[in-house]
Structure 1
């Protein structure tokens, strides 16, 4: 654990202790506010110590590193709250949510009619965003650039060898080996797959033929694995491997990743700065979904993906509702400062304010 994390945890403990002492000398000013973790939490540090109980969640593996960090950090401020997040993929998380098997779900993709949750039963709460890297394992090649059309041809196996003329055209002066390409992808229903293929639909519309979705009909010669970490392992195990992996898992696995040609024609590598530039240019819909993929701007990273928490519009258990609101409030306030430490981009201030206001709609 790095020194910044240790220092922050110490400060959280001091803040909670100070709030508790202040509460001992005061009256019942918060008696009507339940947990005291409403949307005014963004104004300053909140007292989460009254949160007590258990929350079960499942869903996207893309934001798992961030949610695990949030859960760990919140434990110091809310020792009686237990939150379990099971990274089973966006598709399964949405199904679990529709079947009332979890208290909230993580997803990187929007809900479709076939996913399980009924229309009107859920709200989207944006949390963070991050790059989807195009990670590769290619001996002797330290830097790689890929345009959307070349990327589309690689992943639908129209391009089969690393020294293909299309890859060479994207990488002038680079010696590319005469080696077969091994394409790795998600085998489970995945928001990462959804966003990666949505990018190819948008950026290479005349080339990409496999459409988009949590699952797509990959060519038989490609290899699949569950979760982002599984795809990362496939890439590491194959000299000549390439796949799409979230930024956090790609870095943790020590993978190399390509610079991707963005809408302005610039080859930009995956970074939080590039993701933030893409976020700032995204249009937010009324339901708070938004699309930073293939965003304009010379410094944007082209394959930047959002992620959301699905919360219920109505919780029959009032105590459970308060726990969900308290946990998500922490994510959107104090928890935003944790995002860069685990390779995620925090939300822009305007979107964060809208996300906090979304929690007031929960009944």
Structure 2
């Protein structure tokens, strides 16, 4: 057990030294010399700093995983780095699957994943969570999966589960297909071929989208929910940023990204017909309705959530996601444990959750965040 812990410490230390400059540069702030903007930024930074209690024993942190939470991590690491100069956080957005793999190899202090750990992942974590510990899911970043498109002349588009599944499975190939037209009366749809983009990497965003298909496609999507894309045809791109970039550059295209990437890239997002009285727009407020109805299905300090992808509640956006931070319940690296708990305590705080709301994320309901705070306090 001692060799496992020392190996984990060595991996973290080497990586942190190699990447030590990343957060320092990010924390230096903007080059914008506008005084009003600077004052506003300073005020916001002061508010964030007040919510941060730095670790008594600070240490550099390495983390990896979900790209869906990448923009949230950027906000958090800048605020945290400004308040706690003795801690550098480097987060590598390699996708949920790769992040969990790196955690179970002892390469990172925590991982981000857009789907709860599988039993095999938990079993593998026991090799690096010393003293009988194992990996647990801590909900931290909530959001929604936005169906983004780039179609000339179409500023508003409505889709539903069966139609969207058929598009991504290659069964619907033209934008003026009768199934799409039926959902969009009065909209002029072009006789243009549809180009679909999906994730090339193992992705929690793919898992959440295909979970929605499994609940709502009426058999149009035959594969089980999976982090590995199983649709027919289409083109692939790495990460949410890669998909967003391809949609922006390709006329007649459609793909899926976390809402913050749609907003940053000024991409059009489809509304979803769920069976409610009207189609539901992809907004944080509408996603919050679905998230508020989620239930904890994990045991002990594991807080894996069950999400209702098939919701028909009024104004409830169905394609939601929760990114979990994965850590050991006990047996975390003692060299980084204090900093790990300090950083996670900030991210789950009211200030931390509100800080990412402007980036297209959804603050976690207090019923969930209260449980996460308690679980972080129990990390050992």
User: What's the TM-score bracket when you normalise by the shorter of the two chains?
Assistant: 0.7 to 0.9
Distance (whole Å) between structure 2 residues aligned to residue 316 and residue 307 of structure 1: 20
Residues 289 and 113 of structure 1: CA distance in aligned 2, closer, same or farther (over 3 Å):
closer
Give me the TM-score of the superposition, normalised by structure 2. Answer: 0.83
Question: Could you say which residue in structure 2 is the equivalent of 1:326?
Answer: 342
Whether 1:9 and 2:45 are equivalent positions in the alignment is: yes
Question: Could you say which residue in structure 1 is the equivalent of 2:107?
Answer: 101
Question: Could you say which residue in structure 1 is the equivalent of 2:319?
Answer: 303
Residues 164-203 of structure 1 show CA distances to partners (whole Å, capped at 9, x for unaligned) of: 0000000011110000000100000000000010011011
Residues 127 and 214 of structure 1: CA distance in aligned 2, closer, same or farther (over 3 Å):
same
Question: Could you say which residue in structure 2 is the equivalent of 1:264?
Answer: 276
Question: Could you say which residue in structure 2 is the equivalent of 1:21?
Answer: none
Shift of 1:308: 0.6
Whether 1:275 and 2:311 are equivalent positions in the alignment is: no
Give me the TM-score of the superposition, normalised by structure 1. Answer: 0.87
Shift of 1:265: 5.1
Report if aligned partners of 1:315, 1:321 keep a CA contact under 8 Å in 2: no
Report if aligned partners of 2:59, 2:88 keep a CA contact under 8 Å in 1: yes
Residues 5 and 293 of structure 1: CA distance in aligned 2, closer, same or farther (over 3 Å):
farther
Distance (whole Å) between structure 1 residues aligned to residue 84 and residue 161 of structure 2: 45
Report if aligned partners of 2:96, 2:203 keep a CA contact under 8 Å in 1: yes
Report if aligned partners of 1:261, 1:302 keep a CA contact under 8 Å in 2: no
Question: Could you say which residue in structure 2 is the equivalent of 1:24?
Answer: none
Distance (whole Å) between structure 2 residues aligned to residue 266 and residue 348 of structure 1: 25
Distance (whole Å) between structure 2 residues aligned to residue 316 and residue 200 of structure 1: 37
Distance (whole Å) between structure 1 residues aligned to residue 140 and residue 192 of structure 2: 40
**Which consecutive unaligned segments of at least 5 residues does structure 1 have?**
16-44
Whether 1:183 and 2:196 are equivalent positions in the alignment is: yes
Distance (whole Å) between structure 2 residues aligned to residue 81 and residue 240 of structure 1: 45
Shift of 1:107: 0.3
Shift of 1:5: 3.8
Whether 1:66 and 2:72 are equivalent positions in the alignment is: yes
Point out the more displaced range, 73-82 or 289-298.
Answer: 289-298
Point out the more displaced range, 118-127 or 171-180.
Answer: 118-127
Shift of 1:296: 3.9
Question: Could you say which residue in structure 2 is the equivalent of 1:314?
Answer: 330
Residues 11 and 251 of structure 1: CA distance in aligned 2, closer, same or farther (over 3 Å):
closer
Residues 53 and 343 of structure 1: CA distance in aligned 2, closer, same or farther (over 3 Å):
same
Residues 218 and 115 of structure 1: CA distance in aligned 2, closer, same or farther (over 3 Å):
farther
Question: Could you say which residue in structure 2 is the equivalent of 1:197?
Answer: 210
Residues 132 and 123 of structure 1: CA distance in aligned 2, closer, same or farther (over 3 Å):
same
Distance (whole Å) between structure 1 residues aligned to residue 251 and residue 331 of structure 2: 50
Point out the more displaced range, 223-232 or 335-344.
Answer: 335-344
Question: Could you say which residue in structure 2 is the equivalent of 1:167?
Answer: 180
Shift of 1:293: 2.7
Distance (whole Å) between structure 1 residues aligned to residue 296 and residue 110 of structure 2: 22
Whether 1:146 and 2:172 are equivalent positions in the alignment is: no
Report if aligned partners of 1:188, 1:215 keep a CA contact under 8 Å in 2: yes
Residues 123-168 of structure 1 show CA distances to partners (whole Å, capped at 9, x for unaligned) of: 1111121111000000011110001111111010100000000000
Question: Could you say which residue in structure 2 is the equivalent of 1:48?
Answer: 54
Question: Could you say which residue in structure 2 is the equivalent of 1:215?
Answer: 228
Residues 63 and 292 of structure 1: CA distance in aligned 2, closer, same or farther (over 3 Å):
farther
Number of residue equivalences? 332
Point out the more displaced range, 85-94 or 283-292.
Answer: 283-292
The DSSP-based 3-state class of the residue aligned with 2:125 is coil
Distance (whole Å) between structure 1 residues aligned to residue 104 and residue 229 of structure 2: 22
Shift of 1:336: 1.2
Q: CA RMSD in A?
A: 1.8
Residues 305-324 of structure 1 show CA distances to partners (whole Å, capped at 9, x for unaligned) of: 11110001223532311111
Residues 188-228 of structure 1 show CA distances to partners (whole Å, capped at 9, x for unaligned) of: 00000000100110112422113211103232x30001000
